[in-house]
C-alpha cells in the first residue's frame, strides 16, 4: 500500500525541470508510504513514489525497472495496492517463459506479465491496485485501477502534460507544472449535497478526475488518453432449482476461506477490524485460522444504542483473539474533523469515517495491515433498504394516475409527518427513487440552501447507465448493481482507503474479490432478502464459522450519534463553522443556520444535511479559501506488541 505520482510530459518539454515539483507533490501523500520515497526521471516522464513496505520489504523498491533480456530496463512501474495471486502469476511466467526474478514482490511480476501477456493481463490480477507502467521504447504509459475501485487513482491534464496520483492534493500541487487552473465544479457540488459524496469520475475540482473502477488506460506519445473497461460486475441470478441451496452455501464458505487466505499474505503483522455484525466477524474468524495471534479492533461511543463495543468484545472472546477498543468523544470528533477532511481530498459526509480514523490510528500502534468486511452488503444483499421493494410492492399495482396523485398528496403533508416519505417514494419508479444508501437533500430541500440550483443536474444522470445495464433484473439486484458503482466506490471504499492510509495502515477487503463475486452473482433473490432478514445465503453459509450471537443481528456498523450531539455538545461548534465560512457565493448562510436551529429545537431531524454542509464548509476553508490549515502529523508509529 503506497502513494504513486506519475507525470507524462509532451514532447519538447524537459521532464527534469519538473522533478522538484514532483518531489514537493509527493510530500502531500507521505502518509500513504512513510517507509521510503523515491523519484525517477526518464525521457518524457517523471515518476515518484511513497512506499509502505508490506511484501518483500528488503527489495521491490519503486519506481521499479524491468525489461526482457534483449531490452533491460525497458519498463518502469509504479504500483499501489496488493495483487494477492502474484505468486501464481510468477509461477506461470517461470513455467511459460523461463523467467527469473530479482525480487520477491508483486511489482516485478506485474510488469513482466504485462510484457508477455499485453494489456489484457489486468484481468488476471486478483487484488486491489492502481498502477502505471511506462514503456520507454514506445513512449507509452499504460495503467489500470482494480475491479471494484478499492484503490484510488486521480488524473489531471494541462499544457504541461498529464499526471496521475493516488491523492488529488498531489495533483493540485502540480497545477502550475501542468498549466491547469483548478476551479470548483458546481455540478459535482450539487451531486455531493444529494448523495453525500462526489460520484466517479468527478471531483470537486473541475481539472481533476478519477480513473473509474475496473478501467485500464493508455497515454500515447501525442498525449492522447484512451480508456477501456476491463471488468463490469454483472449479476447472473438464477432460481434455487438451478443452483441448489446447499451447494450455494458451501461454495460461499469455500470462496471466502480462499479469499481470506490470500489476503493474509504479507511480510508484516495482519490484524482485523471487528464490529458487532457478521461481515467483519466472519473475516476475523477466518483470519484467526492463519494467524493464531490475531488482534482485532473496534470503536464506539459512550452513548446507548450507538456502540457495538460489547457485542464485538463478545465475538472476539468467542473467536479467541486479542481485542482492542477505542472510544471516541464528541470533542475529539470536532477537534479532528479538519484534519480528516484534508486527508479525504473531497468531502464525504459520512460521519462513520471519523470513528474509522480513530480506530485506524489505534490499530497502527499494533499492526501494519488490517482486514475488514466492506463489500459484503453490496454482494450479498445486506442493506435494509433492499427490502423496500417488498414494502412498496402494492404501489406497483396502482394505476399511474392514482399513483401520481398519491405522490402529489405527499407534498401537501407537513415535513416530518409520518407516512409522507412512504407515499412520496411509493409514487416514484425505482430509477427515480433509488440512488444509494445516502439520500441527503431532495430537490426542494437543496434549493433552500444552494444559491444556484440546476434542475438539470440530478442523480439519474449518475445512475442511468447502471439501470439500463440491469433493466431485466429484479429490483433488489438492480439496487445492488447501482450501489456497486455509486455508494460502494463513492462512500464505503473512499472512507476505508483514506482513513486507514491517513494512518499509514493498509486495509484489505476479502469480500471484494472477483472470485467471491462470481459466487455472489449467482445468488437468487430468495437467498438474499426475506421478510425476516437480509443476506440470507451468507448467514447460512457461515453459520458454523461465526459465533451464534451475531448470525441474525441487524446491521449497525460504526453508528455516530450526531443527531443528538448537533443539538447539544456540537451546536456552538457547528454554528461557528457556518458563520466563519466564506461560501456565500455558493450557500445561503442564513438558511443553513436556520436548519441548525430547527434541528436544535427538535422541529425536524436535519442532522445528516447539516453534517454534509459542515464537511463541505471545512473542505472549502482548506482547499479554496486557504483559511483552515490543519496541522499534518508526521507518520510515527511505535508498535505495541
Q: What is the set of active-site residues?
A: 2
CB of 566 closer than 8 Å to CB of 610? yes
**DSSP-derived 3-state class of residue 439:** coil
CA atoms within 13 A on the CB side of 250: 5
CB of 158 closer than 8 Å to CB of 180? yes
Angle between helices 607-623 and 571-580 (to 10 degrees): 50
CB of 85 closer than 8 Å to CB of 93? no
Query: What is d(CA 367, CA 641) in angstroms, rounded to the nearest whole number?
Result: 9
* DSSP-assigned states of every residue in 288-349: HTT-TT-EEEEEE-SSTTSB-HHHHHHHHHHHT-EEEEEE--HHHHHHHHHHHHHHHSS---
Query: What is d(CA 447, CA 21) in angstroms, rounded to the nearest whole number?
Result: 41
- For the beta carbon of residue 245, count every other beta carbon within 10 angstroms: 16
Q: Which of 469, 437, 495, 482 is nearest to 150 (CA)?
A: 495
Q: Is 350 left (phi over 0), alpha (psi -120 to 50) or beta?
A: beta
Give all strands of the β-sheet with 161-165 in edge-to-edge order: 36-42, 45-51, 2-8, 161-165, 154-158, 208-210
CB of 506 closer than 8 Å to CB of 1? yes
Peptide bond before 380: cis, by omega within 30 degrees of 0? no
Q: How far does the chain reach from its first CA to its final CA, in angstroms?
A: 22
Query: What is d(CA 418, CA 500) in angstroms, rounded to the nearest whole number?
Result: 39
Query: What is d(CA 271, CA 307) in angstroms, rounded to the nearest whole number?
Result: 21
Could you tell me how many helices (H) and strands (E) the chain has, helices first?
Answer: 28, 17
Query: What is d(CA 201, CA 102) in angstroms, rounded to the nearest whole number?
Result: 37
CA 252 to chain centre: 24
- For the beta carbon of residue 206, count every other beta carbon within 10 angstroms: 16
- For the beta carbon of residue 601, count every other beta carbon within 10 angstroms: 9
Range list of β-strands (E), 1-117: 2-8, 36-42, 45-51, 64-66, 75-83
Q: Which of 356, 501, 636, 638 is nearest to 54 (CA)?
A: 501
Amino acid at each position: 500500500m503506497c502513494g504513486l505520482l506519475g507525470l507524462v510530459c509532451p514532447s519538447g518539454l524537459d521532464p527534469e525541470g519538473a522533478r522538484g515539483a514532483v518531489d514537493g507533490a509527493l510530500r502531500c501523500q507521505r502518509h500513504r508510504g512513510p517507509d521510503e520515497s523515491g523519484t525517477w526521471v526518464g525521457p518524457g516522464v517523471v515518476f515518484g513514489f511513497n512506499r509502505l513496505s508490506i511484501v518483500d520489504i528488503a527489495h521491490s523498491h519503486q519506481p521499479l525497472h524491468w525489461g526482457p533480456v534483449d531490452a533491460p530496463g525497458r519498463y518502469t512501474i509504479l504500483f499501489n495496492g496488493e495483487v494477492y495471486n502474484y505468486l501464481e502469476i510468477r509461477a506461470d511466467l517461470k513455467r511459460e517463459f523461463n523467467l527469473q526474478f530479482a525480487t520477491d514482490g508483486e511489482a516485478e511480476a506485474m510488469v513482466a506479465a504485462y510484457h508477455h501477456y499485453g494489456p489484457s493481463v489486468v484481468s488476471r490480477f486478483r487484488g486491489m491496485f492502481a498502477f502505471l507502467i511506462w514503456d520507454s521504447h514506445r513512449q507509452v504509459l499504460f495503467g489500470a485501477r482494480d475491479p471494484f475501485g478499492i484503490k484510488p487513482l486521480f488524473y489531471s491534464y494541462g499544457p504541461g502534460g498529464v499526471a496521475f496520483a493516488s491523492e488529488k492534493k498531489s495533483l493540485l500541487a502540480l497545477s502550475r507544472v501542468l498549466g491547469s487552473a483548478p476551479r470548483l465544479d458546481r455540478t459535482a457540488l450539487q451531486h455531493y449535497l444529494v448523495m453525500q459524496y462526489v460520484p466517479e469520475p468527478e471531483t470537486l475540482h473541475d481539472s481533476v478526475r478519477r480513473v473509474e473502477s475496473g478501467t485500464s488506460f493508455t497515454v500515447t506519445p501525442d498525449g492522447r488518453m484512451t480508456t477501456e473497461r476491463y471488468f463490469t460486475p454483472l449479476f447472473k441470478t438464477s432460481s434455487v432449482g438451478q443452483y441448489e441451496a446447499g451447494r450455494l452455501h458451501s461454495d460461499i464458505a469455500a470462496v471466502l476461506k480462499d479469499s481470506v487466505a490470500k489476503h493474509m499474505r504479507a511480510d508484516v503483522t495482519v490484524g482485523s477490524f471487528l464490529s458487532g455484525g457478521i461481515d467483519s466477524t466472519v473475516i476475523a474468524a477466518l483470519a484467526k485460522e492463519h494467524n493464531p495471534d490475531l488482534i482485532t479492533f473496534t470503536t464506539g461511543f459512550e452513548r446507548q444504542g450507538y456502540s457495538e463495543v460489547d457485542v464485538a468484545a463478545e465475538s472476539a472472546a468467542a473467536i479467541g483473539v486479542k481485542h482492542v477498543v477505542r472510544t471516541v468523544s464528541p470533542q475529539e470528533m470536532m477537534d479532528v474533523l479538519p484534519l480528516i477532511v484534508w486527508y479525504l481530498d473531497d468531502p464525504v459526509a459520512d460521519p462513520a469515517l471519523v470513528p474509522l480514523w480513530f480506530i485506524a490510528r489505534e490499530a497502527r500502534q499494533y499492526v501494519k495491515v488490517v482486514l475488514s468486511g466492506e463489500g459484503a452488503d453490496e454482494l450479498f444483499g445486506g442493506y435494509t433498504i433492499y427490502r423496500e421493494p417488498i414494502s412498496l410492492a402494492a404501489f406497483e399495482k396502482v394505476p399511474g394516475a392514482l399513483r401520481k396523485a398519491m405522490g402529489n398528496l405527499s407534498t401537501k403533508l407537513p415535513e416530518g409527518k409520518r407516512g409522507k416519505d412512504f407515499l412520496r417514494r411509493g409514487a416514484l419508479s425505482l430509477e427515480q427513487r433509488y440512488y444509494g444508501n445516502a439520500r441527503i437533500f431532495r430537490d426542494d430541500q437543496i434549493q433552500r440552501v444552494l444559491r444556484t440550483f440546476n434542475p438539470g443536474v440530478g442523480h439519474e444522470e449518475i445512475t442511468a447507465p447502471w439501470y439500463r445495464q440491469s433493466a431485466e433484473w429484479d429490483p433488489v439486484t438492480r439496487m445492488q448493481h447501482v450501489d456497486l458503482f455509486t455508494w460502494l466506490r463513492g462512500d464505503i471504499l473512499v472512507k476505508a482507503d483514506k482513513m486507514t492510509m491517513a494512518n499509514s495502515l493498509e486495509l484489505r477487503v476479502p469480500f471484494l474479490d472477483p472470485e467471491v463475486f462470481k459466487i455472489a452473482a449467482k445468488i437468487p433473490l430468495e437467498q438474499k432478502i426475506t421478510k425476516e432478514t437480509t443476506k440470507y445465503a451468507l448467514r447460512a453459509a457461515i453459520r458454523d464459522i461465526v459465533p451464534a450471537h451475531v448470525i441474525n443481528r441487524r446491521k449497525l456498523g460504526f453508528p455516530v450519534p450526531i443527531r443528538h450531539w448537533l443539538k447539544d455538545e456540537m451546536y456552538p461548534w457547528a454554528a461557528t463553522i457556518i458563520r466563519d465560512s466564506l461560501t456565500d457565493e455558493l450557500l445561503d448562510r442564513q438558511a443553513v443556520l436556520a436548519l441548525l436551529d430547527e434541528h436544535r429545537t427538535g422541529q425536524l431531524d436535519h442532522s445528516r444535511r447539516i453534517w454534509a454542509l459542515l464537511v463541505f464548509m471545512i473542505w472549502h476553508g482548506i482547499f479554496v479559501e486557504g483559511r483552515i490549515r490543519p496541522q499534518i502529523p508526521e507518520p510515527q508509529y511505535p508498535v505495541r506488541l
